[in-house]
């Protein structure tokens, strides 16, 4: 019985390592974006970093929206800012979904 449990643990750890090697870049990008995926323990520095990134991101999104709304009479300026705002809005949607 113990032999079966040991082999299951070995297979589970092998699958975990396989996922980490296969999706190393994707996991790195998610971690840089403040999403602690597949971490054993989240450090306090990482928590502070994550909170700072999220606050800055949402403040930038709000500022883009306000700037677009204030300058809505100038069509060329509005179109430039609206394009950036839509990209940020899609990213906000993805961030909320992954959280």
Q: Quickly list DSSP for 2-42.
A: HHHHHHHHHHHHHHHHHHHHHTHHHHHHHHHTT---S-SS-
CA of 39: how far to CAs of 27, 30, 31, 56, in Å? 10, 11, 9, 23
Residues 28 and 60 in one domain: no
Residues 62 and 94 in one domain: yes
Domain total for the chain?
Answer: 2
Residues 54 and 74 in one domain: yes
Give the pLDDT mean for 57-75: 85
Put simply, whether the predicted model's pTM sits higher than 0.85 gets the answer no
Residues 68 and 93 in one domain: yes
Residues 48 and 94 in one domain: yes
Give the pLDDT mean for 5-30: 68
| pLDDT at site 5 | 53
User: Considering only CA atoms, which of 17, 21, 51 is closest in space to residue 36?
Assistant: 51
The domain of 91 spans 41-99
Residues 22 and 45 in one domain: no
To which residue do tokens 């709000």 refer?
Answer: 62
């Amino acid at each position: 019985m113990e032999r079966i449990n040991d082999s299951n643990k070995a297979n589970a750890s092998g699958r975990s390592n396989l996922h980490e090697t296969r999706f190393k870049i994707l996991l790195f990008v998610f971690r840089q974006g403040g999403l602690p995926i597949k971490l054993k323990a989240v450090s306090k520095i990482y928590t502070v970093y994550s909170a700072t990134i999220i606050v800055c991101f949402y403040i930038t999104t709000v500022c883009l929206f306000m700037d677009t709304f204030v300058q809505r009479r100038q069509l060329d300026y509005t179109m430039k800012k609206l394009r950036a705002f839509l990209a940020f809005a899609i990213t906000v949607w993805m961030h909320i979904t992954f959280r």
